Amino acid sequence: MKKFCPAISLAALALALTACGNDVSVKAPDDESAVAETGDVSNDEITNTDEIAVSAADLEGNPFLAEWDTPFGVPPFSEIDVEHYMPATKAGILDLRAEIAAIVDNPEPATFENTIVALDISGNQLGKVANTFGNITGTDTTDALRDLQTKIYPMLTRETNAIQFNAALFERVKSVYAQKDTLVLDEQDARLLELTHRGFVRGGADLSQEKKDRVAAINEEISSLTTAFGQNLLKATTGFKLEITDAADLGGLSESFKTAIKVDGEDKWVVGLNRSPYETFMTQSTNRELREKLFNGYRLRASEGENDNGPVAIKIAQLRAERAQLMGYESHAHYQLETRMAKTPEAAVEFLLRVWRPGLSRAREELADIQALINADGGDFTAEGHDWWHYAERVRQNRFAFDDAALAPYFELNAVRQGAFDMATKLFGVTFDAIETPLWNPVVTSYDVKDENGDHLGVFMMDMYARDSKRGGAWMSSYRNTSDINGNRIRPIITNNMNLIPPPEGEPTLMRFDEVETLFHEFGHGLHGLMTQIRYENFSGVDGPRDYTEFPAQILEHWASEKEMLAEYATHFETGEVIPDELIGKMRNASTFNQGFKTTEFIAASLLDLAWHSLTPEEAAAITDARAFEAQVLEEYGILPEIEPRYRSQYFAHIFAGGYSAGYYAYLWSEILDADGFEAFKEADDIFDPELAGKLKTWVYEAGGLREADELYRNFRGKDPEIAPLLKVRGLDSVSG
């Protein structure tokens, strides 16, 4: 089945239990057929089991049932209203059921084409609706859409459960799989067969009926809980505002930031909890009291009242632990990591601690420097968490004569975006031409992406600005995924999303360098989705284990800071002057500064994730307080009390409302790959080395999940990765742990 919502095979969906619309995808079918092809929509009523019923009147004028004649088939956003989603979802479910029934009831013996391929291309209509719904609820949600999420996602989970546990369907899959050594299959065919069978087995298709029923119930309950978690977090995040009414309290803030947070027509400035304004305020503000208020607002989000996610997180962890035991695994983490590069949670923890120890040692040194500066200022207090950002920046300025704000004029959004496009052209031959398409929000920009031969690769859309209707963070997603079967070539519609502070009207969008790196990162995910040459949606695009799929994104961050690249895109927004060598030198000298803090806060969250998901059902059942549990975990690892984990449990959407449960460590694991991989370009003394770029293109960006991740990496690099480049990049290579 193809991917619907933003990448997990349908067979694994019941276990992935991802709330659609987050930064992972659920796969379902995707050719542009209409419901009418499998049922007469003119009938007064289309009915089926599980209360899935939709009338012809309900479907009249529904844009999801029409063929979209928009440029490249982009959804006609202005024609889609809230009331269209539910009937279109029901019609899509009925369409999918008919396709599955056609496979199961086929009187012919099961073959690769009539079973495996037929399954991969099924669910087109449902994917069309669910992809759109999942993306819109992530970028422009409303109360009505949030209410729909609580209804639609359990329906989708029930449907995937029904397919996952369809005994007759699995018998046909097993029949084809048993013939795999005698079938004439090319590499992509063989991989599709392997992954389809694996997905059913890992999804519980071989369980007893009693266990299947319980797993199905767990899947549905987790679907509802993950949706609730995300909704609670969004409401808690948008519900907190730090309001400043006295200009005297704006000390330290740059003029551009003050302008960005000022309320139009009022003598009031407002800072919310999106990461970009949060970090900017915490770094610049000299008002310690206000920093503490914002700090507590951020770290205590969704931890009390009606939006308290603590009980939700506990229940999700308990259900995942129970499901893993039913599946025959020690814990959810053991289940999840079985097919990933780390293989076991023990190996993931061991890896994290190899970086944690020197990171923690460096963080202690950084804390001492911060306290020394506080003392030198005559401050009569001990450094706390809300002091770190501000004083670390001051230490950096003193040590490197470098102010991050001096960089911003050289990183204007349009120039940075064009720099990323130019990098992709030099490396892979792909080009980006601005086009006019329907948009879900006026700030979105669209591009026609072509390969080196000028052939269409896909549509790329960028949504860069924060708003209250949009979830926080940065992510890549898709409105349509890739397939190329029986002459029906479908290319993707890919999106990148960030949460930059919108500038005043007419003013440029100036970026911090970490935001520049984030843009290059998400662009890497985008290229992974756009450049895929895999025919089957089951493993096309950003497919692969979590500890590998971050690699194609993270490696592109290295180009952002290379002098050769900076000379092309880092120009002063007013004068056009290329960023001076002196400023580049200072930026590089300061690049490993505060890495103890950054390493520690990230690994703390990763260890917390693995702790939640390594619980047995008995251990999970004993947890009654999420904060107490995480405090115990972090204390055991010796985290400094002055450093908050990057995510606390109540707002850890990656693991409780996204697709990274037992997988947040993947970002750092992938950093082994990206640091080692970029080292090859440095060794070649050419960051655009054609031979290396060709291998990177073939074995990473175009290959999807064609082979196991370690093999794909070796085909690009010629060897297994080493950890030394990662420690060097973080400046921890000389630190004892």
Residues marked active site are found at: 522
Q: Is 258 exposed, middle or buried (0-12, 13-18, 19+ CB in 10 A)?
A: middle
Task: Tell me the torsion sign for CA atoms 351, 354, 360, 365.
Answer: negative
DSSP string, 381-437: S---HHHHHHHHHHHHHHHH---GGGTGGG-BHHHHHHHHHHHHHHHH--EEEEE--
The pair of three-digit structure tokens given for residue 373, joined into one six-digit string? 């500066």
The pair of three-digit structure tokens given for residue 281, joined into one six-digit string? 């305020």
Contact 640/364 with Cβ under 8 angstroms?
Answer: yes
Task: Tell me the torsion sign for CA atoms 458, 442, 510, 464.
Answer: negative
Q: How many CB atoms lie within 10 A of CB 254?
A: 16
First to last CA, the chain: 47
Can you count the helices (H) and strands (E) in the chain?
A: 30, 13
**CB neighbour list of residue 525: distance below 8 Å, 6 or more residues apart:** 475, 476, 496, 542, 549, 552, 553
Q: Is 72 exposed, middle or buried (0-12, 13-18, 19+ CB in 10 A)?
A: middle
**DSSP for residue 54:** E
Where do runs of H (alpha helix) occur along 204-287? Answer: 209-239, 255-261, 275-284
**DSSP for residue 708:** -
Task: Tell me the torsion sign for CA atoms 114, 117, 119, 125.
Answer: negative
CA within 13 Å, CB half, 452:
8
CA dihedral (152, 440, 463, 137) in degrees, to 10, reads -20
DSSP string, 598-614: HHHHHHHHHHHHHHHHT
Which stretches of 285-374 are assigned E, i.e. beta strand?
none
The answer for 670, left when phi > 0, alpha when psi is -120 to 50, beta otherwise, is alpha
